[in-house]
Structure 1
C-alpha cells in the first residue's frame, strides 16, 4: 500500500495537530489516521539499521524528459530553457488533484484563472494568457476554445485522472511548437496501456475510488488495457466525479461551485514494424454545472480531442519522422434558469483542425554534432456562436481563422562543454468572416548558447522572438453587453496588428550526485528573463464613436521581467523540493502594472520514504505574496500561506492507498485572478487496485 500524505508542514505542526480536533468534529477520524501513520513511520524508522536506498520509481521529477523544449526530447535539468515536467508518479503520490489547476500551480511562473462555478481554467504563463498566448496541447492537439466574458477569455476543460504528465516550457523559446506561444507551451500527455500493464502482462486494469470531504465529493475511475503482442496495445479509461458546493476557509458555503464530470479515453498503439508506430486516441470530457453572475445558467461543456499520430524511426541518422493530424472541439451550452428568458439556450462551439509534421536528422560535421529539426504545422479555428437574442453571437463572433508556419532548428554540440541552438520560424495567418479579412506573416529567430565549464553545471543564454496573430473575438467583437448589466457597446477592430515578443533570458542548471550522502541527487534550475511584447492587445474604452464603448487595440508595449527557481534534493529516504518565481509586468508606455501578471510565489515540499519507498509522506507549504493594485483591477491580491499534507502507502504492487489534506489550517484566501474564495480544509482519501 502506498500512503500519500500531503503534509503542508511547518516545524511545529506536530505540536499543533491535536488542536485540529477542535476545529471540526469531521476531522477527528483524519487526525487519528495521521497519528496512526506517524506511529507506523516511527516504528518503521526504529527498525531500520540503515537508510534504505531509493526504490525504482520513488525519486521525484529528477530526470524527467521535456519534449516541448526541442521536440527531440532531453532531460529537464539539462535543457537550455525554462522547462518543467510533472509526471504521473508525482501526480499520484503528492497531489491527487481535484482539478488541473492543482498541478499547474506547482510550476514556477504558471497560474490559472477560472470563472465562478466554471471548472474550465485559463492558463497563465509569465503573466500572459488568453487568445493563444499560451499554446495548450493535449496529446499534441491544440486547445483553442475562447469566449468573451468576465473571466479568462480562453478556457480549457480536462480530467486530471487522465493525466500522464504535463510538460511546460516558459517564454517564446519553443518556436517549433506552433504560432502564438509568446507566453509558453503547456503540453498534457494522457495515460496509455503502459501505465496500466507491467512488463509481461497482456490484459489488466485499474480501479480507483476517492472521497473528498469538502463538498462531499465521490470519484470513481477505471482503466482497462490489453497488449496482445508487442505490435499492438490499447487502453480504455473513464472517470465519474460528482462534487458538491465547497466551503471556504471561514466555513461559509460557496454557492454554485458544484459540478459533475464524466470523461472517457480510448488510445491504441500499433507497431507494424520495429521502426514504425501509429497512435490513435479519442478523449471526451463532459462537465455539468450551474453558474452565472447576473443570470443563472445550467451549463454543459463538452470537450473532444481526437488525434492520429505516426512515427518512423528507421536505422538511419537522417530520419526520425513524426506526423500528427488532430481535431479538438469544445461546445458550451447554456440554458437560462430564471427570469423572463428562462429556458432560452445559447451555444458556443469552437472546433480546431490541425496538422503537425517534422523530422530530425543527426549528423557530424568535423568536431560538431548536429541535430537538425525541420517541419511545419497548420491549424484552422471554426467558431460558431448561437444566441436567440442576438447578443452573445456578437460578443463571441462566428468566423474562421487559418494559421500556418514552418520552422528549422539546428542543435549543435561541440565536445561536452558547448551547445548552440539556432532556429528560424515563419508564421502566416488569415482571419475572415462575412465583412472582415485580416492577414499577416513574419519570420521569428531564436538563438541559445549553453556552456558547461564542468559537468554538473551548465550556463545558458537565449534570445527568441514570438508572433501571435489576433484572435477572432479580438478582431470581430461587436454589439452591446447583455442585460441586466449595462457596460456599453463593443466595437470590432479589423486593423489589429499581431503581437511580437522579444525575449531575453539566462539561467544555470545544476546536477550533482553523491553530494552529501551516497546515491543522493541535487537538481536545480535558476533563471531570469526579460520579455518585451510589441503591439500588445488589450480591451480599452474609446470615446468615439459617441457615446463610446470598448474595443481591442494595440495600445501597449508590455514588459515582463522575472526570476524563476525550481529544484529538488533527493536522498532516497527523504527529499526536499522548491519552486518559485518573482514577476513584474508593466506597460512601458504608461508604467502601469499589467493586470494578468500573478503575484510572487514560493512552494516548498519536504517528504520522507520508508519501507524501501512503499510509504511516502510529507508536507507542502505555499507562500503567495501581495499583488499591488489588485482591487483596482477587480481582483483580490492579499498575501496568504497554505499548508498541505500528503501520504501514500503502496501495500503491494497492486494496491495503493492515499491521503491528501489541503489547507490544513482552514485559511480563508482567494487566488489572484479568481472570483471565488478557494476551498477551506479538505481531506481526500483514495484507494486504487490493479488487476492483471
Structure 2
C-alpha cells in the first residue's frame, strides 16, 4: 500500500515543534532534591571527561540514552539517530553500511573523532564517497555522546570538528536489581528492504567482584524502495559479536576488557562486486579511584581496532582490499582540591594512536589512491576546571600535539601547542551563560599526503602527492545559554533549553584541487588559506511524566578561500555544510506508562552548491511515528512507521535516494 503526502505537513511540524525534542543523555546520575525525592540528571562526558548535565555543559554537547534508542529508533540505523542531534549529519551509501559523521560541516580524514568504547575508529578508503567511515551494530549500542567543535581537547588529536563517543552494553544494563544474571532476546523485522534481525545478549555476575557480557546479532536485509518507487541496491547480511569482562579487585579499582567483531556481506560499486567488511575492536582498561584522597582518580586504556574492506572477483579470488588498523592508549588523572574559595578539578593526561594502512589491488590501482603507510599521533594535556561560589566556572587547558607520517620514501612530522578557555556564569540555578575559545590541530592523513596514481578511466588525470601539506589549525569561538526550569505547567515537570552560536576558523584547510598543468592535468590535496564555518544550534526538551516533547534545530554556513600574499581573496568556494534542519518530537505515556505513543517530524532545507562541492539536496519534510508497549517487565514490543507519507527525497551528501515508507517491528524479551 502506498501512502500519499498531506498538503501541509509543515503545519504538523509546527504543531509538534511547539512542544519540542531533545536528545536524552548517554548516562544518568541520581541527585537528591531538598525534599529528598530522587531526580534523574542526564550527563555527558566528552566535553571535559567530567560528568555534567546535558543542559549544564559549557559547550555544544548532546547525548542519546539506550532508553531513547529503543523507544524512538527501534532497530533503526545510526543515520536516523544522528539526524536528531543539532549540528550533526551523516554521509552514507545504500550499498555500503559504513557511516561517515559530519559535525558542523567538518568531516573526513579524522576531523571528527569517532570512538567505540573509547577506541578510535579511523578506517578510510579513497573514492567518490566519504573519506572516513565506521561500522557499528546498533543492537549492541548503549548510548551516543556528542560534543561539537574542538573544545574536547582531552579526547585526542585531530578532532577539530568534534567527538562522537559510542558505548556498548554492559552488565548493569542487562541484570535487574537483586539478580545475578540477565538475558535480552530481541527480534526485528522491516517491511522496506525486508528482512529479519535477531539479537541475544546476556550477562552474569561472577561473585561480587566481576561480571561477564556475551552477545551476538544476525541481520539480513534486502534492497529497499525509495519514495519514488526506485529499487535501491542495499541488501546485506550482518553478523556481530560482543564480549565484555569487568573485575573489581578492591574497592575503588576496576579492570575491564572488551572485544567485538562486526562482519557484513554486501554488493558494492558500479559492478555490484561481492564485498565483505570485518571490523574488530579490542580494549583493556584500568580505573583507580582512591578511597583516601581526592587527588587520585586515574584511568588508563589501551585499544586496538582494525577494519578490512575486501572485494572479490566472480571466482572468489581477492580483487582489492583496504586494511586499516589503529592501536592507541589513553591515560589521565583528575585531582579534586580547593584553594581558598575556589574548587578545582585538575586533569592531566596523555594519549597516542598509530594508524597502519595496507591496501592491495590485483586488477587496478586502488592501492595507489589509498596509499599504504604509517602515521603516529600523540599528545599531552592539562586542564583545570575552577568553580567559585556557585556562580562562576572557568575551564582552562593546554594541549600539545605531535605527529609523524611515513611510507617507504616519505617522512613528515610536526607539532603544536593549542589553548582552550571557557567561561561559565550561573546567575541562578535556572540559567547558565557560557563562552569559549578553543584551538584544535589536525595532522594531514596518509592519503592526503601520499596519494600518487592515475584516475581510473574514462576520466583522465593523475593524483599527485604533497609531502609539504601543513596541518590544519582550527580556532573556534562559541557562545551559548542553558535554561532549566521545573514546575512550569504542572508540578514536577521539567523544561530545558540549550542555544549555541559558533564560528570556526580553520587555517591551512586541506582539500583536493584540480591542476591544469602539466597536461592533461591532475588532482592534489593542497592547503587553502582559510575556511570558516558559523551557525546556530538549538535543542530543547519538556517532560511532565504523561507528556514529553523535544526540539532540535540547526543553521550552518561555511566557505573556504585562498588569499594571495597581498591579502586579496583569490577564490572562494562553499564547504560541505549541511542545510538547515528542524526535528520536532512529541509523545504521550498511557496505561501507567506501559504504553508510549510518539511522532517525529523532520523539516530539511534545500542546498544547492553541486558545482563546487558535488552535492546538492532538495527541501523535504518527513513524518515518523513510534510506539512502545510493555506487556510486563520482561516483554515489550516496539513499532516504528518511518516516512509514513512515502516522501521521495535524497539526503544531502548522499547519492542514493532515501527509503520510502518502512514499518519496523521489534519484540524484546528479558529473563
> Is TM-score (shorter-chain normalized) higher than 0.5?
yes
CA contact (8 A) 1:100 1:160 kept: yes
Corresponding residue pairs, total: 633
The structural deviation recorded for 1:152 is 0.2
Give the conservation status (yes or no) of the 8 Å contact 2:574–2:612. no
How big is the shift at 1:217?
1.6
Q: Deviations over 1:335-369 (max 9, x none)?
A: 1449xxx9552110000000000000000000000
Matched with 2:320 is 346
Change (3 A) 1:445 1:232: same
CA contact (8 A) 2:608 2:615 kept: no
DSSP 3-state at the match of 1:92: helix
Residue of structure 1 equivalent to 2:301: 324
Give the aligned partner of residue 130 of structure 1: 108
Q: CA deviation at 1:688?
A: 0.6
Indicate yes or no: 2:658 matched with 1:658: no
Write out per-residue CA displacement over residues 576-611 of structure 1, whole angstroms, 9 at most, x where no aligned residue.
100110000011446744342111100000100012
Cα deviations by residue, 1:106-130 (Å, 9 ceiling, x for unpaired): 1001011113410001110000001
CA distance in 1, matches of 2:81, 2:439: 28
Among residues 278, 282, 296, which one is paired with 2:272 in the alignment? 296
For residue 345 of structure 2, the aligned residue among 345, 361, 371 is 371
* Correspondences of 1:168-183 after superposition (within 5 Å): 168-183=146-161
Match of 1:576, SS state, is: strand
Say whether 1:525 aligns with 2:503.
Answer: no
**Residue 609 (str. 1) matches residue 586 (str. 2):** no
Structure 1 spans left out of the alignment, 5+ residues: 1-8, 14-55
| 1:18 match | none
Supply the distance in 2 between the matched residues of 1:228 and 1:93 (Cα, whole angstroms): 31
2:290 to 305, 310, 314: 314
Provide closer, same or farther for how the CA distance between residues 11 and 248 of structure 1 changes in structure 2, counting only shifts above 3 A.
closer
Instruction: Report the secondary structure of 2:193's partner residue.
Output: coil
Q: Which runs of 5+ in 2 are unaligned?
A: 1-7, 13-36, 563-569
| Aligned equivalents of 1:556, 1:244: Cα separation in 2 | 46
Report the equivalent of 1:101: 79
Counterpart contact for 1:135–1:180, Cα < 8 Å: yes
2:166 to 180, 185, 188: 188
Counterpart of 2:448 in 1: which secondary structure?
helix
Q: What residue is the counterpart of 1:66 in the other structure?
A: 44
Ranked by relative contact order (alpha carbons within 8 Å, sequence separation 6 or more), the top structure is 1
CA distance in 1, matches of 2:11, 2:347: 53
Contact 1:456 1:510 in 2 (8 A): yes
Q: Distance in 2 between matches of 1:569 and 1:390?
A: 56
Equivalents in 1 of 2:186, 2:209: separation in Å? 28
Match of 2:479 in 1: 506
The 8 Å contact of residues 574 and 613 in structure 2, kept in 1 or not, is answered as no
Residue 649 (str. 1) matches residue 629 (str. 2): yes
Structure with greater strand percent: 2
> How many angstroms apart in 2 are the aligned matches of 1:216 and 1:608?
29
Aligned to 2:140: 162
CA distance in 2, matches of 1:155, 1:80: 29
Q: Within 2, Cα distance between the matches of 1:218 and 1:576?
A: 31
Change (3 A) 1:556 1:245: farther
Correspondent of 1:259 among 203, 212, 236: 236
Distance in 1 between the 2:228 and 2:367 partners?
39
Q: Let me know the Cα RMSD of the aligned residues.
A: 1.8
Name the TM-score, length of structure 2 as normaliser: 0.92
- Paired with 2:513 and 2:11, the residues of 1 have a C-alpha distance of 49
Secondary structure of the residue aligned to 1:434 is: coil
Per the alignment, residue 34 of structure 1 pairs with: none
